[in-house]
Amino acid sequence: MVLAVSEVEKVRSQLNFFSPMFGWLKSLTDKSAEPLLVVEGYRLETTVKLAHPIRTPGGSRVTLVSFCVNVHYSMDEGGTPVIRRVQLWQPDENITGVLARCNVFATYKGEAWHSVSCEPESLLNLAVQAELALQDSRLRRIMVGRWRAQNHGKHAQSIVDSLNNRGDPEQLAKLINATGYGKEIAFTYAKSDGTSRTRKVSVIDVTGHWLRAQDLEDSEFKTFRLDQISNARVL
């Protein structure tokens, strides 16, 4: 995907690549203001089309470039990534390989180089937003997957709390959809004959007043009435 930046008045499209050499600059940030999650060193598939050409260290004049970035983000209640800041990725000072240090790429020239900055940083943000809007965005999958992995226990506990509190089935379905299926829980299930037993399952979804899950004992997919579930807990 090509992101066109055609008007300087709307966004400053000329990139100022200060010192396009193999140097290194450590970003100084306020730790207290850092977002919850960061994807580091991600090579964007989205290309930025500049309003004016720039000259590469190899002497070419290019207008189509892409970047390797750090994406700082959080997630909203619906499980959608919210971008907080995008920075040009800077390699660790211990990385000495020339190609391993590249963070800017000329799309059709086969050139790549290292830059200590990109101005304005808003261009990087625009490129990331455009990439997240792509169908089946790889960046989105990485961000959501990392969020789900880091918050696995918290999300499972939210599902358990909703079951124990007889929460609204529609809200429970939204919670499972946002946090991802596969949360492993146990609960007491009352059968129609008056008996009950403990079930251990991997949650899939909620449809109407039924919980769909995979039984961890026999790996079969089963449904359970929500009003017959009690004493739910996280495994």
| Beta strands 2-4; 81-88: pairing state | unpaired
Per-residue burial over 85-113, b = 16 or more CB atoms within 10 Å of its CB, e = otherwise: bbbbbbbeeeeeeeeebbbbbbeeeebbb
Please check whether residue 56 is in contact with residue 107, taking contact to mean a CB–CB distance below 8 angstroms: no
What's the order of all strands across the beta sheet hosting 229-234? 221-225, 210-215, 196-207, 184-190, 229-234
Write down all domains in the chain, each with its CATH number in brackets.
Answer: 2-150 (no CATH), 152-234 (2.30.30.520)
Distance CA 197, CA 228 (A): 11
Residues 86-145 pLDDT 10s: 999 999 888 878 888 999 999 888 899 999 988 888 889 999 999 999 988 999 999 988
Tens of pLDDT, residues 170-213: 989 988 887 767 889 999 999 888 899 999 999 999 999 999 99
Give the whole-angstrom CA distance, residue 199 versus residue 186. 6
